[in-house]
Amino acid sequence: MMPLTFATPGDENIIKKISGKPEVKQHLEDLGFVAGSAVRIISRLGGNIIVNIKESRIAISEEMASKIMV
């Protein structure tokens, strides 16, 4: 298990766990980041990570991405 920030762009990863404070976990769940979902890093831009999850593209900060374990 590793943080999403260490994943290779283009590779599909399965979310294993979301860590952090309850409000952070809830925010990520609201965006679609739940255990068992597939996530793929599209690109990295200026401290943000563009990911593809549930057929949507979402930009999250590297800090948020470090809370997502794959």
**pLDDT the model gives residue 28:** 92
**pLDDT the model gives residue 30:** 92
Question: 10-49 burial string, b = 16+ CB within 10 Å, else e?
Answer: eeebebeebeeeeeebebbeeeebeeeeebbbeeeeeeeb
Averages of pLDDT over each 10 residues, the chain, 70 residues: 93 94 92 94 93 93 94
Pick the CATH number of 4-62 from 2.30.30.90, 3.10.20.30, 2.60.40.1930, 3.40.50.10490: 2.30.30.90
The domain limits of the chain are 4-62
Q: Has this prediction a pTM greater than 0.75?
A: yes
